[in-house]
Amino acid sequence: MPTGEWTVEQVHALLEKPFLDLIHDAQTVHRQHWPDGDIELATLLSIKTGGCPENCGYCPQSAQFETGVKAEKLLAVDEVLRAAQVAKDAGASRFCMGAAWRSPKDRDIAQVSTLVAAVKGLGLETCATLGMLEPHQAVELQQAGLDYYNHNLDTSPDYYPAIVDTRTYQDRLDTLAHVRAAGIQVCCGGIIGMGETVAHRAGLLAELANLSPYPESVPINSLVRVPGTPLGDSDPIDPIDFVRVIAVARILMPKARVRLSAGRKELGEAVEALCFVAGANSIFYGDKLLVTGNPDTDADRTLIQKLGLRTTGSVT
Using DSSP's 3-state secondary structure scheme, residue 45 falls into strand
pLDDT in tens, 166-209: 889 999 999 999 999 999 999 999 999 999 999 999 999 999 99
Of residues 111 and 261, more confidently modeled: 111
Q: Which residues are catalytic?
A: 52, 56, 59, 96, 127, 187, 259
- pLDDT the model gives residue 266: 79
Helix (H) or strand (E) holding 29: helix 19-33
User: pTM higher than 0.85 for the full model?
Assistant: yes
- Residue 241 and residue 260: Cα distance in Å, rounded? 14
pLDDT(316) > 50: no
Angle at 297 between CA 291 and CA 298, to 5 degrees: 140
Tell how strand 292-293 and strand 288-289 pair up: antiparallel
Cβ within 8 Å of residue 16, ≥6 positions away: 198
What average pLDDT does the segment 211-227 reach?
A: 92
What tens digit of pLDDT does each residue of 258-309 get?
Answer: 999 887 877 888 999 999 999 999 998 865 555 554 567 778 888 888 988 8
Percent of the chain residues past pLDDT 90, beyond the cut: 66
**162: which DSSP letter?**
G
pLDDT digits 0-9 by tens, 50-80: 777 777 777 777 766 766 677 678 899 999 9
Q: What is the pLDDT of residue 265?
A: 76
Mean pLDDT score, 232-260 = 94
